[in-house]
Amino acid sequence: MIIIAAIIIIAFVVGISYYNRLIAKRNQITNAFSAIDVMLKKRFDLLPNLVETVKQYTKYEEGVLTKITELRTKASSAQLSNQEKIDLDKQIGTAVSGMMITAENYPDLKANQNFLNLQTVWTESEEQIAAARRNYNFSVTDYNNAIMMFPGSIFAGMLDYKPVQVIENAPEERQNVSAKDLFNN
Amino acid sequence: MSDFIQDPGLLGLLQELDKDRLNIVAGQRKAKIVMIAGGVLLLIAVLLGMTTLFTLVPCVAILIYGFVLKSKMDFPLKLYKDTFKQKIVATALKDIDPSMVIEPLNGMSEEEFKASQLFTTSPDRYVSEDQISGQADKTRFYFSEVKAEYKDESTDSDGRRQVSWDLIFNGIIFTADFNKNFIGTTVVRPKNVASTLGSWITKALSSFSDKQVVELENAEFSEKFVTYSTDQIEARYILTPAMMEKLCELNRKSRGSISLSFIYSRVYIAFPMDHNYFEPPLKTSILDSDILEKDILIVRFLYDVVKELGLNTRIWGKS
């Protein structure tokens, strides 16, 4: 009788522990994405200043600048899902990288201190977002492992927890492209 | 002999130093002979039961004379070592980079050693010397020889207290400005049984510790090191995939497994070594010795760390 009671108590404690651990891992993913979100916002806030500075020196790049402004408006207006935010950031990243390369053709712009500062802050934000994404992906993998492995899978079924997709890094992040190459400093 | 010693003045100094070395060796040998003679005479007197004042005093006097002779060699020996470091090693350093200087009596302070958080044990006996500093392009760096030990006290079955000194670290600690800004602390330690157990405990009790284990994607890096940090994202900001590869490469080139810490916007790297660098030879001639080549090799290796880790790439708002 005592043995059966002990087994039930142990099973109950282990069950609660697993249940709490799954919830903690799930919350960890939300936390990790919040970190990306904060950094994305910081990055998007750089855009108006960057566009204004570039506009003063370039005459023939209206198309690129307009596209960046549009993307920025989209990023700040609507209620976007996590995936949409990531996709938007990818598009903005590609557009700004193109703009930075174009800046090479404008010596006055390249020498502008404000532009140089913005370039530096932009690079820093790229690296910080990459780090935050890697942290998010780690949290997702940790959570996915927990809900797919026994006995976590039982609780995951009860809680209707589904595997979450990791954020695929942009090809340049996989290669860990140097910002030096990007800006050709 | 290394190529940098082409200067006739330097060659003259080396020849003079070699004469000093021979005098020191001769002086030490004489002191040793006198001390042995005094000791042997004292032993014979005691064994033969001739323990009168008349026999003991001369023996002790000979022993004391031996000690005096030995201590008379201490100053020339110190001068010989200092001249070697200040003139010969210093010239070799300038040949690598004109900004490099050696301060034989300076080293990493014990406070900085503790603050670097490279090691978990606090030292009870600490020595550091031969600090070499310089600037490789934009990056200021310095490194010193460090020996840190802790006292291990135990009591045997008879109740006697035994004290032994265990090594925390012996080698060279290198530090430089890191090329990115950060505010937290990230520590990378070699993976062994103790650190694996430590990381397991830290993970299990993560809410009680200021640092968390950071699990990184690079398989080789994770196999060789355990990483702790106060900030998971900042740790990944510092340890980018490229940086992890560079650190694995640096670890392969080092004799022992390296430890690193990223703290106060600086990087600290501990290279375990069992050789005492920048010391002049006593038993062999300075003129035909290869010992300086070993010193130059290690300085070049440490100087290249700045380049190998890309610490001069300042595109992250740190100039």
DSSP string, A79-133: ---HHHHHHHHHHHHHHHHHHHHHGGG-HHHHH-HHHHHHHHHHHHHHHHHHHHH
Cα–Cα nearest to B302, from B92, B132, B169, B88: B132
Residue B112's identity, in one-letter code, is E
Q: Do B240 and A121 touch (CB under 8 A)?
A: no
Cα–Cα nearest to B116, from B305, B243, B269: B269
pLDDT recorded at residue B316: 62
Examine the pLDDT at A124 and tell me if it is beyond 50: yes
Contact by Cβ (8 Å): B4, B95: yes
Burial (Cβ within 10 Å: 0-12, 13-18, ≥19) of residue B59: buried
Q: Do B240 and A127 touch (CB under 8 A)?
A: yes
Angle, CA of B42, B47 and B48, to the nearest 5°: 100
Indicate which of A25, A34, A126, A134 best probes the interface with B, i.e. most B CBs within 10 Å of its own CB: A134
B240: chain A residues, CB-CB within 8 Å: 127, 130-131, 176
Quick check: A162 contacting B, CB < 8 Å?
A: no
Q: How far apart are CA A140 and CA A149, in angstroms?
A: 14
Which residue do the tokens 């976007």 mark? Answer: A80
Quick check: A176 contacting B, CB < 8 Å?
A: yes
Rounded mean pLDDT of B2-31?
81
pLDDT recorded at residue B208: 55
A123: chain B residues, CB-CB within 8 Å: 315-316
Rounded mean pLDDT of B98-124?
94
DSSP B85: I
Quick check: B206 contacting A, CB < 8 Å?
A: no
A100: chain B residues, CB-CB within 8 Å: none
Quick check: A181 contacting B, CB < 8 Å?
A: no
Quick check: B207 contacting A, CB < 8 Å?
A: no
Quick check: A134 contacting B, CB < 8 Å?
A: yes
ipTM (interface pTM): 0.71
Q: What is the pLDDT of residues A140-180, one digit of tens each?
A: 998 999 888 887 788 788 778 888 888 876 544 444 444 44
Residues 6+ apart with CB under 8 A from A83: none
Q: How far is A1 from chain B (nearest CA, A)?
A: 33
Residue of A nearest to B317 (CA): A120
Which residue do the tokens 């003045």 mark? Answer: B9
Number of domains in chain A: 1
Q: How far apart are CA A124 and CA A132, in angstroms?
A: 12
Q: How far apart are CA A179 and CA A124, in angstroms?
A: 9
Q: Give the count of Cβ contacts less than 8 A between chain A and B.
A: 47
Which of A80-89, B194-203, B299-308 is predicted least confidently? B194-203
Residue of B nearest to A136 (CA): B233
B234: chain A residues, CB-CB within 8 Å: 131
Both structure tokens of B195:
């650190």
Q: How far apart are CA B226 and CA B213, in angstroms?
A: 7
Residue B51's identity, in one-letter code, is T
Which of A103-107, B180-184, B192-196 is predicted least confidently? B192-196
pLDDT recorded at residue B204: 63
Q: How far is A128 from chain B (nearest CA, A)?
A: 6
CA atoms within 13 A on the CB side of A132: 18
Instruction: Report the CATH number at residue A160.
Output: 1.20.1440.20
Contact by Cβ (8 Å): B227, B219: no
Which of A11-15, A178-182, B270-274 is predicted least confidently? A178-182
- The domain locations on chain B are 8-72, 98-308
Both structure tokens of B189:
């330690």
Q: How far apart are CA B99 and CA B109, in angstroms?
A: 22
> Phi and psi dihedrals of B137, rounded to 5?
60, -110
Residues 6+ apart with CB under 8 A from A70: none
Which of A103-107, B104-108, B297-301 is predicted least confidently? A103-107
Residue of A nearest to B243 (CA): A176
Both structure tokens of A159:
């809680």
Which range marks the domain in which residue A10 is found?
A: 2-183
Would you place residue B172 in the very low, low, confident or very high pLDDT band (cuts 50, 70, 90)?
A: very high
pLDDT recorded at residue B267: 95
Specify the DSSP element, H or E, that contains A33: helix A2-57
More confident residue, B100 or A91: B100
B242: chain A residues, CB-CB within 8 Å: 176, 178
B316: chain A residues, CB-CB within 8 Å: 120, 123-124, 127
Q: How far apart are CA A37 and CA A30, in angstroms?
A: 10
Which of A109-118, A131-140, A170-179, B15-24 is predicted least confidently? A170-179
Examine the pLDDT at A59 and tell me if it is beyond 80: no
pLDDT recorded at residue A185: 38
- Quote the distance between the C-alpha of residue B125 and its chain's center: 14
Residue of A nearest to B318 (CA): A120
pLDDT recorded at residue B158: 79
Q: Do B316 and A124 touch (CB under 8 A)?
A: yes
Would you place residue B2 in the very low, low, confident or very high pLDDT band (cuts 50, 70, 90)?
A: low
